[in-house]
Structure 1
Amino acid sequence: MTKLDTLGRSTFHHIAPQRGVKPTERELRWFKHMACHRPQSSQYLYELTRDTHRCKDTALRQMQKLRAGDFLRLPTQQRATEGAGFNPYIYDLKIAAEDHLYEAGELESTVRPTGHWWHSYATSCVTSSMDIAAARRGVAYIPAHQILAKRDASLAIKTNRWTLIPDQLFALNYGRSFRAFMLEVDRGTEPLRSIEQYAALIEQSGHQAHYGLKANMLILWVFQSQRRQDAFLDLLQAQSEKVQQSILSKTVRFEVLAKQPDASLFEQAWKRSGASSVSINS
């Protein structure tokens, strides 16, 4: 296997180790963000700290330096896509980065998205996009582990009939009000059973009781196909008005979302069945 490219540069499969790499304050922000959301593309990390460091080339070099210093790794799953060599690198934390967070008093027991790698990565892109866009509006993103700690609750909600596990859980602090969200990222499977489970929870406010929340809770459903979203909205019409108003949906292009943050997830309205669209940015 060739270790370097024709210009003598590092490749996906090899980078020369570099000793003595010391993460900066900006890079500590990257580590904290990745610990919260998990794998992130270089474009997401750059956008996260663009408010204080505007040079993208410098950011990319620093990410490579952190990789050489054994703080970051490149998950191999990202190579399984067409044109992977032209896409931004997707990074994840290594043990040294988690150790650095621990030594800085910043390591927390976060909730990692579940499922196969690409689905969990899509989930991390949605929540990261929300986090970055909300911060620019002065809205604080509250991750799942902080919500679950209120009652030492599990992400999974169990009943006598089934167990429901959302793809992710988070809240937004607008300053004078809060909203909590359960997130589902469509995998291309039939959503009917999930709709029925969420409908039962909403009718009984079971999700708020399980997590110990007083804030309003909405269900966000993200699709990669407008046709599937429309079919989903049609299915929701059989549910009560309360359920229809509590479930919001949006279609995004995952091939774009995988490369760069999508501010529209926070800034633009979400669709509801049988009602007008609703914004979550304020």
Structure 2
Amino acid sequence: MRTHDALGRATFHHIDYRPGTRPTEREIRWLRFIQRHGPQSSIYLHELTRDTHRDRDTSLRQMQKLRAGGFLMCPRQQRATENASFNPYIYELTSKARDWLEELGLAENTVRPTGHWVHQYMVSCITSSIDIALQRQGMGYIPAHKILERARTTISIDLGRKTLTPDALFGMDYGGLYRFYCLEADRGTEPKDSKAARKSYRSTIEDYSTLIGDKLYKKDYGLTAGMLLLYVFSSKANERRFLETVQATLGTRSAYILTQTIPGFHGFFRPPQLLSALMEKPWSRAGHEPFEIGAE
């Protein structure tokens, strides 16, 4: 395993420790963003603060500084990417970073993605892309922990016959008007054309019919504003089959179910660019006109 390249620079596997490193105000934004959403690529961290620091190379050096100072780490799972050595690094907080945020009173009891690491990263890319887009539009992103703290509850909902746990929960503040969202991320690499797969889709559709269609979320999450389900796929074919199942299961009672397909997560994943289409392009619906979430 190489610890330095031919020019003596750090590699993915090793970086020389730099004691005495203290994060700047900009770098604190990066740490808190990872704390909120989960693992972040260098692309997203740079985009987060591009409004005040436009030079990408400077951003990359500062991220390496935080890594050398023990605040950031590179999860080994990202090496499963296609052409891993040519992809941007994905960063995660270290225990030192979490302790440091705690000592400064900046730690939050956030609700981060769970499950397989690539699935976590897919969810993180979706929610962080939306958060960055909202900041650029002067609107607000309401993270799950803020919603749940207010309602004094957890993200998991008891449906009686089973428990439903969305991949993510968040809200958007459209300048004093609010809408809330549950997110499901489907990275399935196999076409959903089997009876078992369609049954799985139907089960999820029925669960959200209870939570959102029957407005159970208003009681369980303590919300008065509307809620939509965002279902994000890595495959257009799977998205199409899902919409067919929605149509067959709910008919016209499915206006709250929105779908899109994103790049980078089908088969071998590759860290995507900022997912601007989530806020800029219409989402598909079964039996209804497409819907844009970027506008109230």
> TM-score range with shorter-chain normalisation?
over 0.9
Residue 229 (structure 1) aligns with: 239
Report the CA distance between 1:277 and its aligned residue: 0.5
Deviations along 1:169-209, one digit per CA (max 9) or x if unpaired, are 00000112001000000132632211111112233211222
Local SS of the residue matching 2:255: helix
Residue 152 (structure 2) aligns with: 152
Report the CA distance between 1:5 and its aligned residue: 1.1
Structure-to-structure mapping, 1:5-44, within 5 angstroms: 5-44=5-44
In structure 2, how many angstroms separate the alpha carbons of the residues matched to 1:145 and 1:203? 23
In structure 1, how many angstroms separate the alpha carbons of the residues matched to 2:273 and 2:37? 14
- 1:213 and 2:223 aligned: yes
**Which runs of 5 or more residues in structure 2 are unaligned?**
none
Deviations along 1:119-178, one digit per CA (max 9) or x if unpaired, are 011000000000011111111101000000112111111122011110000000011200
Structure-to-structure mapping, 1:152-231, within 5 angstroms: 152-188=152-188, 190=197, 191-231=201-241
CA contact (8 A) 2:87 2:271 kept: no
Report the CA distance between 1:257 and its aligned residue: 7.3
CA contact (8 A) 1:36 1:112 kept: yes
Deviations along 1:211-247, one digit per CA (max 9) or x if unpaired, are 0011100000001111111111111113446641111
Write the letter of the residue equivalent to 1:234: E
- 1:262 and 2:275 aligned: yes
Aligned residues: 282
In structure 1, how many angstroms separate the alpha carbons of the residues matched to 2:253 and 2:41? 35
Residue 111 (structure 1) aligns with: 111
Identity %: 50
- 1:281 and 2:294 aligned: yes
Write the letter of the residue equivalent to 1:172: M
In structure 1, how many angstroms separate the alpha carbons of the residues matched to 2:154 and 2:58? 40
Structure-to-structure mapping, 1:77-156, within 5 angstroms: 77-156=77-156
CA contact (8 A) 2:231 2:259 kept: yes
Residue 238 (structure 1) aligns with: 248
CA contact (8 A) 2:213 2:256 kept: no
Write the letter of the residue equivalent to 2:81: T
Task: Identify which range, 50-59 or 103-112, moves more after superposition.
Answer: 103-112
In structure 2, how many angstroms separate the alpha carbons of the residues matched to 1:51 and 1:6? 35
In structure 2, how many angstroms separate the alpha carbons of the residues matched to 1:234 and 1:195? 11
CA contact (8 A) 2:81 2:270 kept: no
